Chain A
């Protein structure tokens, strides 16, 4: 019997209001993501992929449909509960790292733990472990402006896994990085997925990133499509 999917989306819809107009962004999305998957969401700009990611991560609410993450329907949660839920269930990786400039690497990684009831010593242990995992144990006291783009993203990833969340959502994680750093980051995500069984849901434009994923899903104009024409041509080019 197949294990219950970690993310189960059913008939999800989302629109934005622009003045009088109602602009649909996601139409009737149904999708399952299994535990331990590494899935890439692709699509042209305006396709709704980032919106879908936001909904799964619990930082936005859908207009209709259900969204079960690890068995819980997060569409029924109130704002405060949703915040608590995110703190323990989701790890975020952003395109521009989104680190606090006035906190050093250690403090940035520690941030999510401040929402827990762990003692200072316990927090310290976990942060050191996480930074060690991403290879930045020797840069704990550096501030973001003292780190390269790739290093900053690694700090962000350490922050993303610090609470041992169910899912890691990454929005264009390599978007601001050079080729080499991008490779490092993707390698890190692959390791997290393979060795620590973390479910990674990634939105990306980058074809190299796609290759790290083991499953690719496409969105076009708010709907899931199997394989868009352009995508197939690209893939063929590489083979």
Chain B
């Protein structure tokens, strides 16, 4: 295209209010689009980072979540003996038999209770989650009624300060520490001793079992062994895969709702771009005629106006993206459909999202500017010059 970029750029600069309003509209759409993608990415990152590739989780067959699952004591004992399970230097199997329940806690500032996941685990369970560290207070003592809360729980819920007591299952449990789990799903959990929890909830079976595999590649052999053993009617999954499935429902909901909304909103913004570009063509008809007379081709005219529309969209898109990037400072806590309990996650801006967002802006610019650009290109020289 031979028409200089300065012509395109300066035309946007001259009509500042129009450029601002049109780009602003597109920027808002982009903001929503980016925010939705970032939220979905944040959700997935939180959940996926919850699992280690070297760990496998065992649940009752067809259970969709740990709450629904049951692993019997004899099954658990048998699993511990399997060769694929890693062992500590002292020969202990790196396996954790856990129990998971939901309790109700009130979110800070409201009196409405929400479901929170409580996990009872043995000391070996802590070893299987190396990303978890105590940031305040200390870890609970095995065999006691002490509990520790994840950082998201500590931040968003009432009644979980160190020293405070929670009452459930007919007992009082003292909060002795807060832990950070690297922004994973565990940050939204409360942890305590598995045997104490089993007693209090009068349970005789575990909810789930987590094992560390000797080597991540041992998973297939491990799974096959379980599939062929009649006594072990269990589902086994790699921990990351399990958590990814946990996010599917909510993730789908967020993406589908969000992307549909963005597309609908973009129609409004593109109409705005179309109005602006039609006005630009109309105001500059004489210029178009002059350029054509001087020898510029129809195609150059079309590309020049399309470029103007695209530039408008990209400016708006960049602004929307910058605004969206500030969302990374926020976390939201809501119920994960699959696990039926509260999950805290944030907004994650990835390179892929930046690329997708810019592409989306580009598309808005092209679609919004297309018809007006065609009109500009189709003008006959003498008619256009007459407008002067």
Contacts and interface: CB of A to CB of B under 8 A. Distances in A.
A–B direct touch in complex (beta carbons closer than 8 A): yes
Given A86-B293, A114-B2, 17 more contacts: A54-B381, A54-B382, A80-B297, A87-B294, A88-B295, A92-B294, A96-B286, A96-B388, A98-B385, A100-B290, A101-B287, A102-B11, A103-B4, A103-B6, A107-B6, A114-B4, A115-B295
* Best-buried of B291, B297, B385 by chain A (most CB within 10 Å): B385
B10 A102 contact: yes
20 contacts: A54-B381, A59-B292, A59-B293, A59-B385, A80-B297, A83-B295, A83-B296, A86-B295, A87-B295, A88-B295, A92-B293, A98-B286, A98-B289, A98-B290, A102-B11, A102-B14, A107-B4, A111-B291, A114-B2, A115-B295
Contacts of B292: 59, 83
* Best-buried of A83, A92, A95 by chain B (most CB within 10 Å): A83
A68 B10 CA distance: 40
A26 B382 CA distance: 15
Contacts of B326: none
Interface string B12-38: 011000000000000000000000000
A46 to B, nearest CB: 14
Interface string B338-371: 0000000000000000000000000000000000
Interface in A32-79: 54, 57, 59-60, 79
Contact of B294 (A54, A101, A112): A112
Interface in B224-261: none
A185 to B, nearest CB: 17
Given A60-B382, A80-B297, A115-B295, A94 B7 contact: no
A84 interface: yes
Interface of A: 54, 57, 59-60, 79-80, 83-88, 92, 94-96, 98, 100-103, 107, 111-112, 114-115, 159
A145 to B, nearest CB: 10
A57 B382 CA distance: 11
A59 B295 contact: no
Chain A contact residues: helix, strand, loop or mixed: helix
A161 B285 CA distance: 24
Contacts of A80: 297
Interface of B: 2-4, 6-7, 10-11, 13-14, 286-287, 289-298, 381-382, 385, 388
Contacts of A115: 2, 294-296
Given A54-B382, A98-B286, A100-B287, A111 B294 contact: yes
Contacts of B291: 111
B182 to A, nearest CB: 53
Contacts of A112: 294-295
Contact of B290 (A57, A87, A94, A102): A94
Nearest to A169: B293
A119 B286 CA distance: 28
Nearest to A85: B295
Contacts of A94: 290, 385, 388
A115 B3 CA distance: 9
The 10 closest A-B pairs by CB, nearest first: A87-B295, A102-B10, A98-B290, A59-B381, A86-B295, A96-B388, A114-B2, A83-B295, A59-B293, A60-B382
* Best-buried of B14, B289, B290, B295 by chain A (most CB within 10 Å): B295
A166 to B, nearest CB: 14
A218 B293 CA distance: 25
Nearest to B14: A102
A59 B382 contact: yes
B381 A60 contact: yes
A114 B296 CA distance: 9
Contacts of B10: 102-103
Nearest to A112: B294
A100 B382 CA distance: 17
A79 B378 CA distance: 12
A98 B287 contact: yes
Nearest to A54: B382
A13 B140 CA distance: 101
Contacts of B298: 79
A80 B292 CA distance: 10
Contacts of A159: 294
A88 B292 CA distance: 13
Contacts of B388: 94-96, 98
Given A60-B381, A94-B388, A84 B295 contact: yes
Contacts of B2: 114-115
Contacts of B382: 54, 59-60
A54 B2 CA distance: 24
A138 B257 CA distance: 61
* Best-buried of A59, A79, A86, A87 by chain B (most CB within 10 Å): A59
